[in-house]
């Protein structure tokens, strides 16, 4: 689907705030793709645009989509409703936006938890979501600076602060986030 068409459809299905976040994420994704030599900047832009396409759906709609698209979940995901939107988003990108590229769908699917063995596109989308200009949480400015010279270190910083936050809230942690961190930490520190 054409990028402009995707934007029109997204605008109809999400709040203005979420739409602005999606546009910003897509632009940051494009820049990071260029900077870190991802072979297809348009692909990065599309993944950035669509990463939150299911985020404004209410819980009962998300549950219906899980059934409709036969989406595989797990015990932890079922206990953390926030983790449903990346999975439903990837299914919607495929079925409703006709995105067939598995790399784009995987990047959407893993944008909240990260995943083991993150691809370059997975990292670009994971990071774009967290550092786009509307984000103003503690430490984001430092992460933006790190992203100027190391994609892995910036992703690692976001994974670390996410994990610390989840621990401080007494929340469950999905094991793939630990796998993502171990994998990137091994590359950054123990290489
Ligand atoms: Fe999201
Ligand atoms: Fe997002």
Q: How far is the CA of 77 from the centre of ligand 1 (A)?
A: 14
CA–CA distance, 176 with 122 (Å, rounded to integer): 13
Cα angle 118, 124, 128 (rounded to 5 degrees) comes to 130
CATH of the domain at 140: 1.10.3210.10
Range of the domain at 102: 3-188
C-beta separation of 118 from 183 below 8 A: yes
Q: How far is the CA of 51 from the centre of ligand 2 (A)?
A: 6
Within 13 Å, how many C-alpha atoms sit on residue 138's CB side? 5
Nearest ligand, measured from the Cα of 86: 1
Q: What is the pLDDT of residue 177?
A: 98
- Number of structural domains found in the chain: 1
C-beta separation of 114 from 126 below 8 A: yes
Q: How far is the CA of 134 from the centre of ligand 2 (A)?
A: 11
The series of mean pLDDT values per 10 residues for the chain, 191 residues long, is 93 97 98 97 98 97 97 95 97 97 98 97 98 95 98 98 97 97 92 68
Per DSSP, the chain holds a count of helices (H) and strands (E) of 11, 0
Cα angle 54, 55, 58 (rounded to 5 degrees) comes to 90
Q: Hey, what are 87's tokens? A: 């999975």
DSSP type of residue 74: -
* 105-118 pLDDT, tens digit each: 999 999 999 999 99
Q: How far is the CA of 103 from the centre of ligand 2 (A)?
A: 18
Q: How far is the CA of 191 from the centre of ligand 1 (A)?
A: 30
Report the residue count for the chain. Answer: 191
Q: What is the pLDDT of residue 189?
A: 82
pTM greater than 0.95 (yes/no): yes
Q: Closest by alpha carbon to 103, among 8, 177, 33, 21?
A: 33
């Amino acid at each position: 689907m054409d990028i402009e068409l995707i934007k029109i459809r997204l605008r109809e299905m999400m709040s203005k705030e979420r739409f602005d976040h999606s546009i910003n994420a897509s632009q940051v994704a494009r820049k990071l793709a260029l900077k870190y030599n991802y072979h297809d900047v348009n692909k990065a832009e599309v993944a950035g645009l669509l990463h939150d396409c299911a985020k404004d759906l209410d819980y009962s709609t998300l549950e219906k989509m899980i059934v409709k698209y036969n989406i595989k979940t797990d015990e932890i995901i079922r206990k953390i409703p926030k983790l449903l939107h990346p999975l439903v988003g990837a299914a919607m990108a495929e079925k409703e936006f006709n995105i067939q590229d598995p790399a784009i769908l995987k990047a959407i699917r893993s944008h909240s938890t990260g995943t083991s063995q993150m691809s370059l596109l997975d990292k670009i989308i994971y990071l774009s979501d967290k550092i786009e200009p509307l984000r103003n949480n503690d430490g984001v400015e430092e992460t933006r600076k790190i992203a100027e010279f190391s994609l892995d270190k910036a992703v690692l910083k976001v994974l670390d602060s996410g994990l610390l936050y989840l621990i401080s809230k007494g929340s469950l942690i999905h094991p793939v986030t630990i796998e993502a961190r171990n994998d990137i930490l091994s590359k950054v520190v123990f290489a």
